[in-house]
Structure 1
Amino acid sequence: MLKLAKREEQIMQVFWDLNKAFIRDIIPLLPDPKPHYNSVATIVKILEEKEFLERETAGNMHSYYPLIGREEYQKFALKDIVSQYFDNSYPRMLAFFAKEQKLTEKQLTEIVNIIKKDNK
């Protein structure tokens, strides 16, 4: 899987929210400054080439839908961040965020409980 550029990721976030859309449908949902239609169309084509999106033709119009789910990409992106910034150490990453966000002991306990619950 390839890492997405910032604007590519913003566009994919909209497709993940909508599940299927025409280019004109996603532009209003993108952050400001809104890109021009042609710019979005170019990025959508790139996302197709990277196999993140698939096109469906309806007459002379094209709608697009994600081939890669949000969660699948989140896992990939998180692994990349952990590798690049935390020496492949999830404990280091969690410690960084806990310190950075000044998490309380109660919040840390809540995180541990969520992890335990999800591992059952």
Structure 2
Amino acid sequence: MQILWQLNEAIVKDIIEKMNEPKPAYNTVSTVVRVLEGKGFIDHKAYGNSHVYFPLITEADYRKFTFDKMMTGYFSNSYKSLVSFIADEKKLGVKELDELTRLIDELKSKQQ
């Protein structure tokens, strides 16, 4: 998706060219593209045997979709579990935890 947002439209070969090494097989990328199309995230224009793919969803909408799936699938919609996981996994120090606390305080004051 990130490559399609960057290019606006692309054939599978264009997508592969933008990927880091080691590059996946053409069939692998083609399969992922078809899955994304089946889910309604992208579409294509056909030019003979070639398909030019383009995103149907914005990066912000896709980010929200994937975040919502992650929250329900891995954290049972618990933001406390999410923050705890991030703090533990990334081994946040006192400075980072203070920044999170400051951000939370700012958000709380905006809601009042």
Give TM-score scaled by structure 1 length. 0.67
- More displaced stretch, 40-49 vs 88-97: 40-49
Aligned equivalent of 1:55, options 32, 35, 44: 44
- CA positional deviation for 1:87: 2.3
Deviation per residue, 1:63-110 (Å, 9 max, x gap): 211112222222222222222232211122112211222212321232
Q: Confirm or deny that 1:16 pairs with 2:9.
A: no
Counterpart CA distance in 2 for 1:101 and 1:39 is: 31
| 5+ residue gaps, structure 2 | none
- CA positional deviation for 1:57: 4.1
Identity of aligned residues (%): 43
Q: 1:101 to 1:46 in 2, by over 3 A?
A: closer
What is the 5 A alignment of 1:1-120?
A: 12-57=1-46, 61-114=50-103, 116=106
- In the TM superposition, structure 1's runs of 4+ consecutive aligned residues that sit over 6 Å from their partners are none
Counterpart CA distance in 1 for 2:89 and 2:96 is: 13
Counterpart CA distance in 2 for 1:106 and 1:53 is: 41
- CA positional deviation for 1:26: 0.8
Q: 1:40 to 1:99 in 2, by over 3 A?
A: closer
Deviation per residue, 1:31-87 (Å, 9 max, x gap): 444233344334323322221112134566432111122222222222222222322
Give TM-score scaled by structure 2 length. 0.70
Deviation per residue, 1:2-26 (Å, 9 max, x gap): xxxxxxxxxx232123222222111
Secondary structure (helix, strand or coil) at the match of 2:17 reads: helix
Pair member with larger Rg: 2
CA RMSD of aligned residues (A): 2.7
Counterpart CA distance in 2 for 1:43 and 1:96 is: 29
Work out the number of aligned pairs and report it. 108
